Amino acid sequence: MEDVPFRSIDDLLRARRAGDLYNELLETYAVHPGVAGVQPKVLVRARDDGPSDERQSLSVRGATHIVKMWDPDEYPELAANEFFCLMAAQQVGLEVPDYRLSEDGRALVVKRFDLIDGSYSGYEDFCVLNGVTSKDKYNGRYETKLFKRIKEFVSPENAVGSLEVAFRLFVINCGIRNGDAHLKNFGVVYKDADSPVRLAPVYDLITTRAYIKNDAMALTLDGSTAWPDRKRLDRLGVTRANLRPGRVAEIVEQTRDTLSDVSGRVKAYFEESRFPEVGAKMLREWQAGVCSLCEGKTIHLMGL
């Protein structure tokens, strides 16, 4: 692979709103391998501006970070949208890669989770695990395409924990109304062919309904892409994730409390944004998601 140019991550994060970071990055990095998806993304290599134990790994060829941007004519504030969704996932206890939002809000910088101590880990998404191509990433049932495959491919010592992690992730996707939780947005990682396989950290979390009105789930649950009510959610947790009903209830309550807490930060950020309507839509969708998770009860988030 051709060397990806070095770039100071701190410089990216300090970019001001008056600058044109979007066009600069595309012009500089467009000739290098990118990352698939609906939003403009580029791969960069961090300069030697991190801690000494991190600098050692930066001499390897290839990218260390993914920079995600947005076009104001298509998905305004998409970087901040994902930033707060990742924050919620992290606060609820899910593993997420290092992520930071630039000062101008135009870029989300995410550290690659498959690069550890200068070596790339193995990674497979759930299209690969299901033996389908990317064009089929929206086809199938969460019950079989995700939870059943975890039981088949994740190492036995990690399987029980991974099923709970997958359920937690499913719950928060429902809570934030992320309609893009398709097969390529779940994966497994492993150090080498002889190492244990585990679920990959969480990535690509977005409140899609802030942009796509009435967006539904990417895959089906019980044969439907409609967002699940509490009864369907309980059944999924017990029958597919092997969780006790009490544990399912705890996960739902933790998700509710986390989204309520993070919603206050969402409100504060978007009050200063050029696109406050995006934040307002996010919060309305989060509230609808939380009410659905909590057996239809009316829940008022802190941001509303």
Which domains does the chain possess? 6-116 (3.30.200), 120-293 (1.10.1070.20)
Evaluate whether 168 touches 199 at the Cβ level (below 8 Å): no
DSSP reduced 3-state for 304: coil
pLDDT for 55 equals 39
Alpha-carbon distance of 291 to 273, in angstroms, equals 27
For residue range 169-222, list pLDDT tens digits in order. 999 999 999 999 999 999 999 998 899 999 999 999 999 999 999 999 999 999
Longest Cα pair distance anywhere in the chain, in angstroms? 54
pLDDT for 211 equals 96
Range 235-258 burial, b when 16+ CB lie within 10 A, else e: bbbeebbebeeeebeebbebbbeb
44 vs 243 pLDDT, higher one: 243
* Average pLDDT over every residue of 100-106: 91
Amino acid letter, residue 97? P
For residue range 109-156, list pLDDT tens digits in order. 999 998 877 788 999 999 999 999 999 999 999 999 999 999 999 999
For residue range 40-71, list pLDDT tens digits in order. 677 777 764 444 344 333 333 467 888 898 88
**What is the β-pairing status of strands 6-7 and 119-120?**
unpaired
For residue range 252-276, list pLDDT tens digits in order. 999 999 999 999 999 999 999 999 9
Helix boundaries (H) for the chain: 9-13, 21-29, 52-55, 78-91, 126-129, 142, 149-153, 156-176, 230-239, 245-270, 276-293
Residue among 106, 81, 118 nearest 211 (CA) = 81
pLDDT for 65 equals 85
* Average pLDDT over every residue of 102-111: 91
pLDDT for 22 equals 54
* Average pLDDT over every residue of 78-100: 97
**What is the β-pairing status of strands 65-69 and 41-46?**
antiparallel
89 vs 5 pLDDT, higher one: 89
Evaluate whether 92 touches 102 at the Cβ level (below 8 Å): no
Alpha-carbon distance of 5 to 175, in angstroms, equals 38
* Average pLDDT over every residue of 63-84: 91
Residue among 127, 122, 147, 119 nearest 242 (CA) = 147
Q: What is the pTM of this model?
A: 0.86
For residue 158, pLDDT beyond 70: yes
